[in-house]
Amino acid sequence: MRQIRWLRGAGAKHITTIGFGPKSESVDEHNVIPMRALWMRIMGYMLFRGRRRFDFFYGDYLNTLAAQELEAADLIIVNEVEYLPWTRFQAVGVKRIPTYLDLHEDHTSHFDRGFLERLAFRKYGRWQFGQLQNFVSSREGGIEVSTVEESIAGSYSAKFEVPVRTIYNAPDQNDLEPSTVNPDHIRLVHHGMGTKGKGIEAAIKTLRLLDERHTLDLIVFPTPLFAVKIKFLARLLGVSNRLTVKPGVPLAELPLILNAYDVALIIMSNVTSGHLNALPNKLFESIQSKLAIVTGPNPAMRTIVQKYELGLSLDSWNPEEAASVINSTAAKSWSRHKSNSRIASQKLSSRQSRLVFKQILSALS
């Protein structure tokens, strides 16, 4: 949505989008890719041939769209890798259109987190990465590539042999002030997608070891199965009375809602290189909400937390360590970290992204 807004600001007259979800008022035309039912998606994951799986999820629909509209574009922007195997991207006329590819995840290595995901996704991920490399090398009209973190950008650049820029996925700056910390009630929060590997399990396990001053709210978009897992884990660990699960909210509403809390728990795992090197949206959203931050030893997040003195960067992903450090942190320290977030929010906002985006448009014009 920010890219669309910046395109309008740069003078774009007609914007067509393709993807999930309803049409935004900011675009002229929108093509909705149908979301298959859960049981059909499970069947789709059993298709091990890359092209057949792609067609099942995306290609069969994409091929119904009018080819002339794509070929008439002045600029193509692709977010992430899902649609890159579309055969129309290899049409002669389309290859000559300037293209911006925005990669939000690290696809240079596997991203599965266990046996079932390895079975379902590793072979397809390798095929998908081959399609990604082919897409980048085939752009005759010029291509600009960005991703969300410097080391991930370096990995892509080595594979593509083209420069890859870094764009932080940070929201707009706002004028919120840090909320007051109540020393008798430290409010912890974790927000974002409700899926495995995002730090939710670690946050709940940490809560079990925290003293009664601490509560945890999860503001998440969980899958139905993961929502059950959250409730089961909370009851199993005996923290249901201090854990509240709330539905996720739109980005525009998020800063004001998060601002009421004190500490954002962002204890991402190291299960994949993408998790280890992550600079997730929730980090920057928490900073713009003027929260103190607690992270694991993920290098990129640690660098930002330590540079701006935003909170605590742990030496492990161990809940015992997290709880020990949080329990021993005084309310005045949390207040200081929240004040530092207010200062850091002036630099760690969408302003950096907007400047790089303008450079990308200039390079492709």
CB 263 within 8 Å of CB 243: no
Residue-range domain boundaries for the chain:
2-168+350-364, 186-344
Contacts of 50 (CB under 8 A, 6+ apart): 85, 123, 124, 127, 128, 131
Contacts of 236 (CB under 8 A, 6+ apart): none
pLDDT of residue 61: 95
Pairing mode, strands 263-266 and 164-166: unpaired
Tokens of 100: 């911006």
**Cα–Cα separations (whole angstroms), residue 122 to 127, 129, 362:** 9, 11, 37
pLDDT of residue 67: 85
| Residues counted in the chain | 365
Per the DSSP assignment, residues forming a β-bridge with 32 are 19
Number of Cβ within a 10 Å radius of residue 317: 19
pLDDT digit of tens for each residue in the chain (365 aa)? Answer: 899 999 999 999 999 999 998 999 899 999 999 989 989 999 999 999 999 999 999 999 999 998 888 999 999 999 999 999 999 999 999 999 999 999 998 999 887 778 888 888 899 999 999 999 999 999 999 999 999 999 999 999 999 989 999 999 999 999 999 999 999 999 999 999 988 878 899 999 999 999 999 999 999 999 888 999 999 999 999 999 999 999 999 888 999 999 999 999 999 888 788 888 889 999 999 999 999 999 999 999 999 999 999 999 999 999 999 999 999 999 999 999 999 999 999 999 999 899 999 999 999 99
Give CA angle at 171 (252, 251), nearest 5°. 25
Pairing mode, strands 263-266 and 16-19: unpaired
> Which uninterrupted H or E stretch holds 78?
strand 76-79
pLDDT of residue 351: 92
CA pseudo-torsion sign 100, 104, 106, 110:
negative
What is the DSSP-derived secondary structure letter of residue 249? -
Per the DSSP assignment, residues forming a β-bridge with 17 are 30
Fold match between domain 2-168+350-364 and domain 186-344: yes
Is the full-model pTM beyond 0.85? yes
Classified as helix, coil or strand, 290 is coil
pLDDT of residue 213: 97
Classified as helix, coil or strand, 219 is strand
pLDDT of residue 187: 98
pLDDT of residue 195: 84
Classified as helix, coil or strand, 211 is coil
Looking at the structure, give the CATH architecture of the domain made up of residues 2-168+350-364: 3-Layer(aba) Sandwich (3.40)
Third-level CATH fold of 186-344: Rossmann fold (3.40.50)
CB 202 within 8 Å of CB 231: no
**Terminus-to-terminus CA distance in the chain, angstroms?**
21
pLDDT of residue 115: 82
User: What is the dihedral angle through the alpha carbons of 125, 129, 134, 135, rounded to the nearest 10 degrees?
Assistant: 90
